[in-house]
Amino acid sequence: MQRRHLLAAAAAVPLALAAGTGWAQQAYPAKPVRVIVPFAPGGTTDIIARVVADRIAAHFGQPMIVENRGGGGGIIGAAEIAKANPDGYTLGVATVSTTASNPAINPKTPYNPVTDFTSIINIAATPNVIAVHPSFPAKDYKGFVEELKRNPGKYSYASSGTGGIGHLQMELYKSLSGTFVTHIPYRGAGPALNDTVAGQVPIIFDNLPSALPFIKDGRLIPIVVAAPQRLEVLPNVPTFKEVGLEPVNRMAYYGFHGPKGLPQEVVNKVYEATKKTLEDPDVRKRIEGTGSLIVANTPDEFAAQTRAEFEVYKKVVEQQKLKLE
C-alpha cells in the first residue's frame, strides 16, 4: 500500500513541476495592459492611442486599455508612467510635451525624460497648427500677424497645458514674430479646443489631428502649420518655414514607452505588435486621415529621437529665456 502511494506521489511531482514552471514562465502579456494617455480625452494623443489600442489585440494577445491622466501639461500622467512597475502592464504614450518641451521649461518635472523611460516605438508624427475662431478679424497669416501687432496683449491663445508643445512652440513663435498674446493653459487639447470652438478663446496652437475636424466644419480657421511642406488637407495654409519662421516648424510625435527597466521581452512584444497593427490599411487610413504620418521606428531610434528633441527644446528655452507663467 505504501509503495502504491509512493509511486502515485512520484508520478505527480513532474506534473506539479511542469504546472509551476508554466505559471512562472507565463508569456507576456498574460492580462490586459494599461496604456496611460497623459492628457484629457479628445486630443491627438488620445486619438492615436485609441486607434492603435482598438486593433492591437490580434497581434498582442491581450487588449490595451487606454486611461487618461491629464494635468500639468502632461506631467501628471507621464510621472505615473515613470513610477510604474516595469513589468509591462502599465505603458504610456510619449509626446514631445511630456518628454521634451515640458521637462525643458519646468525644472520641477518629477522625472528625467532621457533616463526614466524605456522607449518602444514612435507611432506617428503630426503637424501642428495655429487656428482661430471664425470671429477673429483675420482669416490668413498676413492678416493674423498684422492684427496681433496692431493690438499687443488684446488676444489670448489656448494650449493643451503649461509647458506642452503648444505652449512652447507658440511662445517661440511670439518671440520670433514680435507679437504678444496671453497664454491660457488647459488640461489637454480636448478642453482647449472646446473653449476655442465656443469662442471663449480666439486662438489655439494645437496638433492638427484634434483640430482638423473643426477646421473641416468651418468652426476653426487654420492660419499656419508646422509641417515639412504644405499639407494635402490644407493646401492653402503656409508652413512656418514659408513665413520665415523655420525654428517653429517642428512636428509632434506620439509613441509607446514605459518605465525604465522594461524587460527586453516586453519591449520586443509591444514593438512587434504595434508595428503589425500599423500595417493594417484601416489603421493607417484612420491615422493618416488625421493629417499624421506613420513613423513606426525601432526602440533605439525612438530613444535617440527623444533625446534629440529634448536637447532642441532646452536650447529654445535658454535662447529665448522662456519661463513658466
| 215 lies in some domain | yes
Segment of 202-206, 230-234, 307-311 carrying the highest mean pLDDT? 202-206
| 16 lies in some domain | no
| Closest to 168 in 3D by CA, of 224, 96, 232 | 96
pLDDT of residue 227: 92
- Residue type at 88 in one-letter notation: G
pLDDT of residue 44: 86
Residue 102 and residue 49 share a domain: yes
Q: Which residues of 281-296 are buried (b: 16+ CB within 10 A; e: fewer)?
A: eebbebbeebbbeebb
Q: What is the CA radius of gyration of the chain?
A: 23
65 C-beta neighbours (distance < 10 Å), count: 11
| 283 lies in some domain | yes
| 224 lies in some domain | yes
Give percent of the chain above pLDDT 90: 71
Residue 317 near residue 102 (C-beta atoms within 8 A):
no
Domain housing 235: 128-248
Question: Which region among 10-14, 233-237, 248-252 has the lowest average model confidence (pLDDT)?
Answer: 10-14
| 12 lies in some domain | no
Residue 264 and residue 159 share a domain: no
- The grid coordinates of residue 319 equal 535662447
- How high does pLDDT run on average in the chain? 90
- For the four alpha carbons of 304, 305, 310 and 315, in that order, the dihedral sign comes to positive
In sequence order, the β-bridge partners of residue 65 are 34
- 271 pLDDT band, cuts 50/70/90, is very high
Residue 64 near residue 50 (C-beta atoms within 8 A):
no
Number of domains within the chain: 2
pLDDT of residue 320: 73
pLDDT of residue 228: 87
- 1 pLDDT band, cuts 50/70/90, is very low
| 325 lies in some domain | no
- Determine the average pLDDT of the residues in 251-271: 97
Residue 255 and residue 244 share a domain: no
| 291 lies in some domain | yes
**Segment (H or E) for 57:** helix 57-60
Residue 165 near residue 252 (C-beta atoms within 8 A):
yes
At 182 the three-state DSSP class reads strand
pLDDT of residue 325: 62
pLDDT of residue 17: 42
Phi-psi region of 37 (alpha: psi -120 to 50; beta: other; left: phi over 0): beta
> Which residue among 248, 276, 308 closes a domain?
248
Residue 203 and residue 106 share a domain: no
**6 pLDDT above the threshold of 80:** no
- 160 pLDDT band, cuts 50/70/90, is confident
Residue 269 near residue 301 (C-beta atoms within 8 A):
no
Helix 281-288 vs helix 264-278: angle between axes, to the nearest 10 degrees? Answer: 80
- 25 pLDDT band, cuts 50/70/90, is low
Residue 46 and residue 92 share a domain: yes
User: What is the SS3 string spanning 215-275?
Assistant: HHCCCCEEEEEECCCCECCECCCCECCCCCCHHHCCCEEEEEEEECCCCHHHHHHHHHHHH
- Determine the average pLDDT of the residues in 91-117: 95
Residue 149 and residue 196 share a domain: yes
- The grid coordinates of residue 176 equal 520670433
CATH number of the structural domain spanning residue 285:
3.40.190.150
* All residues at 6 or more sequence positions from 113 whose CB lies less than 8 Å from its CB, including other chains: 98, 99, 100, 103, 306, 310
- Indicate the DSSP class of residue 136: S
Residue 168 and residue 117 share a domain: no
